[in-house]
Amino acid sequence: MKTRTFSGWKARVRASMLVMLCIAAAFVFDASAQGAVAQAVLESATTAAQAAEPEPVVDKGDVAWMLTSTLLVLLMTVPGLALFYGGMVRSKNVLSVLAQVISVFSLLVLLWVAYGYSLAFAGGGAWIGTFDKAFLRGVGIDTLADTFSAGFKLPEYVFIAFQATFAGITGALIVGAFAERARFAAVLLFAVLWFTFGYLPIAHIVWAGPGFLFSRGALDFAGGTVVHINAGVAGLVGAYFVGKRVGFGREALKPHNVTFTFIGAALLWVGWFGFNAGSALEANATAALAFLNTLLATAAAILAWALVEKTAKRKSSVLGVASGAVAGLVGITPAAGTVGPCGAIVIGAVAGVVCVWGVNGLKRLLRADDSLDVFGVHGLGGIVGALLTGVFTAPWLGGTGGEDFSIVRQVATQALGVGITTVWIGVVSVLAFLIARAVFGLRVSEDAEREGLDITSHGESAYEL
């Protein structure tokens, strides 16, 4: 007998199953909808993150300033350094000095493109880079180089050209130490060896991100160690190896044209604004600080040198004030962008006083015929500047150091940089001169030296009488 309770049960079961199927379908749809929403949120977040990371900015003002700075450093070398050195030698050797300066500079610029830039700045470890960018492989008009400001870049070609002039002038500085008696071929061979095994490792450890001294916080804004101590030490080693000029200590080996030397010093001062202020890599406040410091330190060094000469010799010479200008420029180079203006004045004055002693007292103590005082001005001035950078970068002395800046710690780091540069370049220079001597011989014959290198090495005379 059918009862009312069980009547129509099949229809009710079917209805219940249909309801459950709808509920399950609703859950599935809801889950997939939540997944789609989550995916959309994720994609939106990714897009927002990408938007938050700005595209690198290449500022036309920065590019224009860096191209100008590169030209200024070229001006320092030719004609600046060439005239500065050329005026200090005797008239029979002036062309030989001009030829060595421009030839060494040109050689090193080409080597910089071949492998120098890569070994100095293309990755690597604490001591040297890689060959990844040899012959500028992978570099084009669209590749960029870092500056000191996040998000701001330079065309890599600009950075390569700027740094090429640094390498070139450093090698050209060295030739003044053994001017008037060195073989031209030996000078060029030495330049290749010194550049490859000396300059490039020092540039990497001081200026490249992975570099040993860079990672330890050593400060060298524009090349106190990389350029000046480097050139000074190499020049001193060269003066010993090449030997003294004929008549040194017995004859007066006077500059033949102090006017040339003065003009050269003036051109060096002008060009040095690109050397120092350009090392900021941007047209910004740091460049302005370096620019001002380059002006002030040089002025202080000129007056300090003149005062010392007046006190010691009762006369201030034009050759002295020209040398004082270079001493001040050398001294401020490592500190240009990190010390205040008052600190720059002190550094310049100290460099001027110390370098007067360097080209007189120290030169006699070393018993080296450093013809044009490469070590006395560049080596010694670079050491003074590097160490005082660690003092006057302190914020309470007007520098740009942070609140936790420690003079003792920073000076110790600076001294480490000076020591490493001196020892490494000393060893490399000794080996390079030994090789050059074995291949070509280091100096011309005594007869050729007496006649003058202009005629005997280049077949020309600067002054036809």
- pLDDT at position 249 is 86
For residue 10, pLDDT beyond 60: no
Q: Is residue 333 part of a domain?
A: yes
- pLDDT at position 235 is 98
Burial of 183 (0-12, 13-18, 19+ CB in 10 A): buried
Q: In whole numbers, what is the pLDDT of the chain averaged over residues?
A: 91
- CB under 8 Å to 301, separation ≥6 — which residues? 324, 325, 327, 328, 329, 331, 348, 349, 351, 352, 355
For residue 29, pLDDT beyond 60: no
The pTM of this model reads 0.88
Compute the residue count for the chain: 465
* 452 phi-psi bin (left φ>0, alpha ψ -120 to 50, beta other): left
- Helix/strand/coil (H, E, C) string of 234-266? HHHHHHHHHCCCCCECCECCCCCCHHHHHHHHH
As for how many domains the chain has, the answer is: 1
Q: Is residue 282 part of a domain?
A: yes
Nearest to 129 by CA among 218, 229, 207, 193: 207
Q: Encode pLDDT of 319-354 as tens digits.
A: 999 999 999 999 999 999 999 999 999 999 999 999
Nearest to 180 by CA among 248, 259, 227, 267: 248
Q: Is residue 307 part of a domain?
A: yes
pLDDT interval class at 52 (50, 70, 90): low
For residue 14, pLDDT beyond 90: no
Q: Encode pLDDT of 372-417 as tens digits.
A: 999 999 999 999 999 999 999 999 999 999 999 999 999 999 999 9
Q: Which residues pair with residue 251 across a beta bridge? A: 248
Alpha helices in 89-154 (DSSP H): 94-111, 117-121
Domain that holds residue 104: 61-458
Q: For residues 307-314, give the mean pLDDT.
A: 95
CATH of residue 404's domain is 1.10.3430.10
Q: Is residue 162 part of a domain?
A: yes
Nearest to 317 by CA among 368, 369, 261: 261
Q: Is residue 49 part of a domain?
A: no
Q: Is residue 132 part of a domain?
A: yes
Distance of CA 462 to the CA centre of its chain: 34
Q: Encode pLDDT of 178-197 as tens digits.
A: 999 999 999 999 999 999 99
Q: Is the Cβ–Cβ distance between 134 and 118 less than 8 Å?
A: yes
- C-alpha R_g of the chain: 32
For residue 2, pLDDT beyond 50: no
Q: Encode pLDDT of 106-130 as tens digits.
A: 999 999 999 999 999 999 999 999 9
- pLDDT at position 39 is 53
Counting Cα atoms < 13 Å in the Cβ hemisphere of 395 gives 7
Q: Is the Cβ–Cβ distance between 431 and 237 less than 8 Å?
A: no
Q: Is residue 30 part of a domain?
A: no
Q: Alpha-carbon distance 376 to 161, whole Å?
A: 29
Q: Is residue 342 part of a domain?
A: yes
Nearest to 334 by CA among 176, 234, 421, 221: 221
